Amino acid sequence: MRSVLRDVYADVAVRSDDTERRFFSRVKLRSGVFKTTESHRLDDVNRLAAQLLPDKRPLELMDVAISSGITTLEWSQQLTAAGIAHHLVAGDSNIEGEWLSFAGVDVLLDGDRREVLFADLFGRGVDVSGSSIRAALAMRAIRMLARASRPLRLRVRHVELVTPRLRECPTVSVIEDDIFTRRKELTGRFDAVRAANILNRHYFDDAQIRAAVANLRNRLRPDGLLIVCRTHDDGTNHGAFLRRASNGWVVVARIGDGSEIEDLIDSEPEE
């Protein structure tokens, strides 16, 4: 059997939405979160955003915590189809990966080669959490192989932990980014910043959310648009579109029931 990792990163001819979905649904980060992202789940958010974006062209946009980057790619494609000239910076804290291939073993490691994110043995998937005895034994052997990869000079290929189609898109740039880190080169740069399925109380406490919002605000131009949304289990999107004002934020539109963290955004002070 053939590893789905190879289908995504090595064989363009067989790459497809389904192939990428099957692959990223098995890429498990150190936090326990999987990299999978369902395609077209933010289409209604994108349609509303297109009506609210500034008239200037080209637009400078940012999408944070992009996971596999599939919905980022779709946002850019939909803007292009609508004739909206733009450049989109796509950021995520887990971008770098190392693909170790050896004698029928395909393993995806993080950039430091410390964590196993994905593993196939002779085309068969391995549960990287080691929840069964068989998986635990397989993971023990895989970790030993990963530790030996440098001294044994095993074949390792650098890959980005996003859909390769995102790198191929001329309107998108991919960067490693932490939403809690302030970066001088991003300050005041963007007409709109989208934070989809990241700023919620399931992941962060209120103080962390306020800190992230303050950081994203710093990246916006005056009157810039912050898009905060979350996809519920039933597939519906709920969120708020907020305009940066001199004395805080102005909610200019909502989708669904609005954002569950609007109270924290409203209370985020002007610097």
79-133 pLDDT tens trace: 999 999 999 999 999 888 999 888 778 889 887 777 889 988 887 888 887 778 7
Closest alpha carbon to 193 in 174, 211, 220: 220
Give all strands of the β-sheet with 96-102 in edge-to-edge order: 124-125, 116-121, 105-110, 96-102, 156-160
Model-level pTM?
0.88
Is the distance from CB of 84 to CB of 53 less than 8 angstroms?
Answer: yes
d(CA 229, CA 260): 9
Q: What is the CATH number of domain 43-94+162-266?
A: 3.40.50.150
> Residues, the chain, total?
271
d(CA 226, CA 51): 14
What was the pLDDT predicted at 3? 84
What was the pLDDT predicted at 270? 46
Is the distance from CB of 162 to CB of 90 less than 8 angstroms?
Answer: yes
d(CA 63, CA 51): 17
Contacts of 69 (CB under 8 A, 6+ apart): 37, 90, 92, 162, 163, 166, 174
What was the pLDDT predicted at 156? 82
Q: How does pLDDT run across 201-226, given as a tens digit for each residue? A: 988 999 999 999 999 999 999 999 99
Token reading at 107: 């393993």
Low-confidence ranges of the chain (pLDDT < 70): 1, 11-14, 149-153, 267-271
**Tokens 């949304």 correspond to what residue?**
229
What was the pLDDT predicted at 10? 79
What was the pLDDT predicted at 143? 80
d(CA 268, CA 271): 9
Domain boundaries, given as residue ranges, for the chain: 4-32+98-159, 43-94+162-266
With H, G, I as helix, E, B as strand and everything else as coil, classify residue 171.
coil
| Ordered DSSP codes for 212-259 | HHHHHHHHEEEEEEEEEEEE-TTS-EEEEEEEEETTEEEEEEEETT--
d(CA 244, CA 226): 7
Closest alpha carbon to 190 in 152, 222, 146, 227: 222
